[in-house]
Amino acid sequence: MEPTHSPIYLDNNATTQVDPAVVEAMLPFFTEHFGNPSSIHAFGAQVGKALKTARAQVQALLGAEHDSEIIFTSCGTESDSTAILSALKAQPERRVVITTAVEHPAILTLCEWLEKEDYVVHRLPVDKKGRIDLDQYKSLLAPNVAIVSAMWANNETGTLFPVDEMAEMAHEAGVMFHTDAVQAVGKIPIDLKNTKIDMLSLSGHKLHAPKGVGVLYLRRGCRFRPLFRGGHQERGRRAGTENSAGIVALGKASELAMANIGHENTVVKRLRDKLERGILAKVPHAFATGDLLYRLPNTSNIAFEYIEGEGILLLLNKLGIAASSGSACTSGSLEPSHVMRAMGIPYTAAHGTIRFSLSRYTTEAEIDRVIAAVPPIAAQLRKLSPYWSGNAPVKNPEQAFAPAYA
């Protein structure tokens, strides 16, 4: 096969390739080091020691003060649920949760369910660039609030929330603060000991560890109620025999992420910027979404007006390029991404949003190929669009094509 046809993976916010060094580190824990770390014998002791190392590696990546603040879980979603449900169980008199309109479904779906259970949920709206209003946030902080949960980085646009500041404000009001940092960890420097963040969720497979392992950071002294009971593992805070291979892998991946954080914020960032500028220079009626000055270094989310994302992805896939879309069709729902809707992106653009998310494996040659591939795809699909005529959108597109709901 021609080298130009090797696949290009620009969907690293969905999941990442497991680093070969991580695979190598974890493999012995399926074979010779199969012991249960709870066992007294040598088989168990070896594994226990490896878990201790992994815990220290994650601690270092997060800048946590104590290694006991790291609780291994099965995934980001479990960490999120554990954090919020713990805050509610530990403070039964507080029945309010503050979150944002653009969180991951791991938080939003849980919050919808909490409302059915008679909790009150405030979802902070965002502006056109995906930013929340800190004054509005401050006005909601009250003694009846059990927990604030705000994502560190948005999975679709990469927009960063000022979680340090938000945590300070919550702390002053005596409210627990949780952040879903699944997209942020490994991409931007994090130093939890110098923040007021009480809880943080991370997921292994977003930072070149395998799926099936995550972490809940729990600040020492923060009141806690476990989600799972039934064992002393993780100091009784997460019962269940440890996923030792996964935990060892996450430890190794954390070490590598720390070593590469500079690369992410220089090389990867430059490639992302080149990709975004390259596409926007050649495709008219397209724009980057989110807070472009304050976002993850690896993420670019581009809205292509008047076309639909699934078509773009299918045509990209034909050229061996993998990305993702906020369109309804690709998710199996009928509505475009809640993040795009929260930012007020019109439907004609929201359905055509494409997220390119890079990693430390992304190369310059790959970015050049994508920059060349995208403009003809947009042109091809626009030829089919009822909003498009010749080389430009039709005049007054919303009036020119106003279909009857079918």
Partner 1 sequence: MWEYTEKVREHFFNPRNAGAIEGANGVGDVGSIKCGDALRLMLKVEPATDIILEASFQTFGCGSAIASSSALTEIIKGKTLDDALKVTNQDIADYLDGLPPEKMHCSVMGREALQAAIANYRGEAWSDDHEEGALICKCFAIDAVMIEDVVRANGLISVEQVTNYTKAGGSCASCHEGIEEILAKVCAEKPSHVNQAAPACATQGPSAKSPATAATKTGLTNYQRIRKVEDTLEAIRPQLQRDHGDLELIEVQGKKIYINLVGACAGCMMEHATMGGIQAKLCEALGELVTVLPARELAKELARAG
Find the radius of gyration of the CA atoms of the chain. 22
The helix or strand, by DSSP H or E, that contains position 134, with its residue range, turns out to be helix 134-140
Which residue from 125, 333, 361, 392 is in contact with partner 1, where contact means CB under 8 A?
Answer: 333
Neighbours of 91 (CB within 10 A): 17
Q: Which stretch binds partner 1 (CB under 8 A): 24-32, 129-137, 266-274, 329-337?
A: 329-337
Q: Which of residues 355-394 bind partner 1 (CB under 8 A)?
A: 383-389
Q: Considering only 46-54, 65-73, 309-317, 365-373, which stretch makes contact with partner 1 by CB under 8 A?
A: 309-317
d(CA 258, CA 262): 8
344 binds partner 1 (CB under 8 A): no
Q: Which two tokens stand for residue 138?
A: 């401050």
Distance of closest approach, residue 287 Cβ to partner 1, in angstroms: 18
Q: Which of 99, 299, 327, 357 binds partner 1 (CB under 8 A)?
A: 327
The contacts found for 230-237 with CB under 8 angstroms, 24 or more apart, are 232/38, 233/38, 234/71, 234/72, 235/68, 235/71, 237/71
Contact window for partner 1 (CB under 8 A) among 83-91, 198-206, 264-272, 302-310: 302-310
Draw the binding track, 6-45, toward partner 1 (x: CB under 8 A; -: no contact): ----------------------------------------
CA atoms of 298 and 356, how far apart (whole Å): 8
Least separation, in Å, of the C-beta of 133 and partner 1? 26
Q: Does 307 bind partner 1 (CB under 8 A)?
A: yes
Residue with Cβ nearer partner 1 (396 or 405) = 405
Closer residue to partner 1, CB minimum distance, 91 or 389: 389
- Please work out the total of residues on this chain that contact partner 1, with binding judged by CB under 8 A: 35
Residues 157-176 close enough to bind partner 1 by CB under 8 A = none
Please give the structure tokens belonging to residue 67: 């290694």
Nearer to partner 1, 12 or 348 (CB): 348
- In this structure, are strands 120-124 and 145-149 parallel, antiparallel, or unpaired? unpaired
Task: For Cα atoms 402, 405, 406, give the angle at the middle one, nearest 5 degrees.
Answer: 130
Judged by beta carbon, residue 151 or residue 307, the one nearer partner 1 is 307
Residue 205 binds partner 1 (CB under 8 A): no
Please indicate whether residue 329 is annotated as part of the active site: yes
SS3 per residue for 238-259:
CCCCCCHHHHHHHHHHHHHHHH
What separation in angstroms does the CA of 193 have from each of 30, 124, 161, 219, 330? 34, 26, 18, 9, 40
Residue 399 binds partner 1 (CB under 8 A): no
Residue 145 contacts residue 173 (beta carbons within 8 Å): yes
CA distance 141 to 174: 9
Using CB under 8 A as the binding rule, whether residue 310 contacts partner 1 is answered as yes
Q: Examine residue 401 and tell whether it contacts partner 1 (CB under 8 A).
A: yes
- Indicate which single residue of 275, 311, 338, 356 sits in contact with partner 1 (rule: CB under 8 A): 311
Nearer residue to partner 1 within complex by CB, 137 or 306: 306
Q: Does 119 bind partner 1 (CB under 8 A)?
A: no
Three-class secondary structure of residue 303 per DSSP: strand
Among 45, 165, 281, 347, binds partner 1 (CB under 8 A): 347
By three-state DSSP, how is residue 347 classified? helix
> Which residues are catalytically annotated?
329
Interface residues with partner 1 (CB under 8 A)? 306-311, 313-315, 318, 327-330, 332-336, 347-348, 351, 383-389, 401-406
